[in-house]
Amino acid sequence: MNQISPLQQARYDYQPKLPSVFMESGPFAAARSGEETHSVADQKQIKELFPDIYGLPTVTFARGSTFDCPPLKVGVILSGGQAPGGHNVIAGLFDGLKALNPDSELFGFLGGPSGLVDNKYIKLNEALVNQYRNTGGFDMICSGRTKLEKDEQFAQVTQNCAEHGIKAIVIIGGDDSNTNACALAQYMLTHKTGVQVIGCPKTIDGDLKNAWIEVSFGFDTATKVYSELIGNIMRDANSSRKYWHFIKLMGRSASHIALECALQTHPNFCLISEEVEEKGMSLNQIVDQITALVVARAENKMKYGVVLIPEGLIEFIPESKVLIAELNNFIGKNKATFEGLTSDGKLEYVVKHLSPASLKAFESMPLMIRKQLLADRDSFGNVQVSRIETEKMLAALVEERLAGINKARAAQGAKPVAFSAQTHFFGYEGRCSAPSNFDADYCYSLGYTAAALIGAGKTGFMASVRYLSCPAQDWEAGGIPLTMMMNMETRHGKDVPVIRKALVDLSGKPFKTFVEHREAWGIGTEYVYPGPIQYFGPSAVCDLTTVTLRLEQA
């Protein structure tokens, strides 16, 4: 028997809160239709690709009466990277289906979309689900990154569903996974299979959001975990007073995590990739800004500080973005030759084929980063940005810049600026934490909402729970058509429909609040030490939402 901690046992016993509509009506709540919808862009193309889903009205649940629901057989998958609360989505779905009809069955397909295609599954029962309530991770059925996008995959899924009598599939994932859910829903309608498809919004990056999806699940927990760690480092920095800490945080396509952690902890410097791109900031300008802050703090006898860096920063710096595009294109076309070279050979090979501007950008980077730009490429020949140690690059470039400054200071008889850097990357530390009370409640509500959408006969929808800065009983549950979030983008040289990623809104209140305070945070020590996630105690402490959400809904 596996040993469990007292906290884990206590989390098993926690009963997530639900919107009042479900407390009163269960999953039999009445689905009320709103106005017809349209995609965020490229309406004509999206409508042609998804004719049976496009334009469907939004749905909100209101108090309803019990109706006869036959036993339902439903499949569920976890898709993409882990996020705290995934197990509670499954628990909420399980409980909702059983409330619709006690004889309903839930099939957990193993390893993500591949399990759905390969027909690898387990039947989820109450004993198994109870072992995972309010726990972190995706280990109940595990996840995977196989893309569901080909007709032959859809045909196999249809066959597997027919074999088991499955009439609905719930896909728990991010923007790519829910794009695939939309394509699967359209396929099921086109071929009149009778199989419904419902999506649930998951990603700790926070870039799956809009007016109806106020936050993706896992973001609350992950940012609280990271903020605890950042606060611990700040306390250490303020104690030893001799290190500059460069901390890279998850978030390749958007800087929501970095912004939220900055609002929670008040670092001396935080980069927001979207601002870097809008202002066209070069790598040299970024290094100049950090170096100037190091000098200013040193002159105030503060030889320490904390810098937060979004994971995807390098793709937002204009010259680096062009460089990466050139590298991806060139290496993709010459993959066989490139892969046959040594590490040094790859460097020599590439520099001969870069444009002058990209060559200048490439050679301005430390050798370690140049090699990382050429290593560990994906199956399409593209750089894997998450593996580029941007935090080490910035620390090294600041040190290099300070060496020149100190040389000039020495010539003037001035004391050198002391600088010693420590680097960190917080990523996996936040993906599988036990969910905060907010994420435990929100995820359970999303799963329950998915069950209600299935009971209402909906397909091609994403479960939506809104007004999340209010107490859970005041949340509004419903659903939005997946097509509502879509546009056309060029991927690997081909125009394809995708759910648009939500970037940090530079005109929004969270970013403006950060801008208002960052100068004072830079030169001072207004550090905030959030401490660990609180599960027990006053609601004002334990059920607290992110600063971002509170500011957005103030």
Kindly report the CATH number assigned to the domain that includes residue 356.
1.10.10.480
- What tokens appear for 393 in the block? 């690059």
Residue of 205, 207, 220, 441 with catalytic role: 205
Same domain, 482 and 408: no
Q: How many domains does the chain have?
A: 3
Q: Tell me: do 167 and 239 sit in the same domain.
A: no
Within a domain: 400: yes
Beta strands 305-310 and 421-426 are unpaired
- Check residue 1 and give its pLDDT: 42
Residue 4 lies in a domain: no
Same domain, 82 and 174: yes
Instruction: State whether 166 and 182 are in the same domain.
Output: yes
Same-domain check for residues 146 and 164 = yes
Rounded (5°) CA angle 483-142-165: 65
Output the CA–CA distances (angstroms, integers) from residue 525 to 29, 204, 257, in the order listed: 51, 28, 21
Indicate if 306 and 325 belong to the same structural domain. no
Give the pLDDT of residue 141.
Answer: 98
Domain end (from 355, 387, 419): 387
449 and 421 share a domain?
no
3-state secondary structure string, 249-270? Answer: ECCCCCCHHHHHHHHHHCCCEE
Here the CATH number for the domain that contains residue 67 is 3.40.50.450
CA 400 – CA 111 distance, rounded (Å): 46
**Do 58 and 137 sit in the same domain of this protein?**
yes
Determine the pLDDT at residue 464. 98
The alpha-helical segments, DSSP class H, found in 266-389 are 273-279, 283-299, 318-333, 335-339, 343-351, 356-363, 367-374
Distance CA 435, CA 375 (A): 35
Rg (CA), the chain: 25
3-state DSSP call for residue 200? Answer: strand
**CATH assignment at residue 404:** 3.40.50.460
Taking Cα atoms as reference points, which of 182, 173, 234 lies closest to residue 205?
A: 173
CA-closest candidate to residue 186, choices 513, 398, 460: 460
7 domain residue, yes or no:
no
Does 517 reside within a domain?
A: yes
Mark whether 456 and 473 lie in a shared domain: yes
Are residues 476 and 506 both part of a single domain? no
Q: Are residues 99 and 178 both part of a single domain?
A: yes
pTM above 0.85, yes or no: yes
Q: For position 379, what pLDDT does the model report?
A: 57
Residuewise pLDDT in 10s, the chain (554 residues): 468 889 889 999 999 999 999 999 999 999 999 989 999 999 999 999 999 999 999 999 999 999 999 999 999 999 999 999 999 999 999 999 999 999 999 999 999 999 999 999 999 999 999 999 999 999 999 999 999 999 999 999 999 999 999 999 999 999 999 999 999 999 999 999 999 999 999 999 999 999 999 999 999 999 999 999 999 999 999 999 999 999 999 988 999 999 999 999 999 999 999 999 999 999 999 999 999 999 999 999 999 999 999 999 999 999 999 999 899 888 888 888 988 999 899 999 999 999 999 999 999 999 999 999 988 666 555 677 778 899 999 999 999 999 999 999 999 999 999 999 999 999 999 999 999 999 999 999 999 999 999 999 999 999 999 999 999 999 999 999 999 999 999 877 789 999 999 999 999 999 999 999 999 999 999 999 999 999 999 998 999 999 999 999 98
Listed residues 491, 513, 533: the one ending a domain: 491
Q: Is residue 37 part of a domain?
A: yes
- Cα 394 from Cα 413, distance rounded (Å): 28
In a domain, 353, yes or no: yes
- Verify that 506 and 481 share a domain, yes or no: no
Is 151 a residue of the active site?
A: no
The full DSSP string for 373-429 is HHSS--TTS---GGGS-HHHHHHHHHHHHHHHHHHHHHHTTPPPPP--EEEEEESGG
Q: Helix or strand or coil: residue 188?
A: helix
Cα dihedral: 40, 192, 113, 159 (round 10): -170
Say if 21 falls within a structural domain.
no
- In sequence order, the 6+-apart residues with CB closer than 8 A to the CB of 190 are 52
26 lies in some domain? no
Range of the domain at 228: 222-311+389-432+501-554
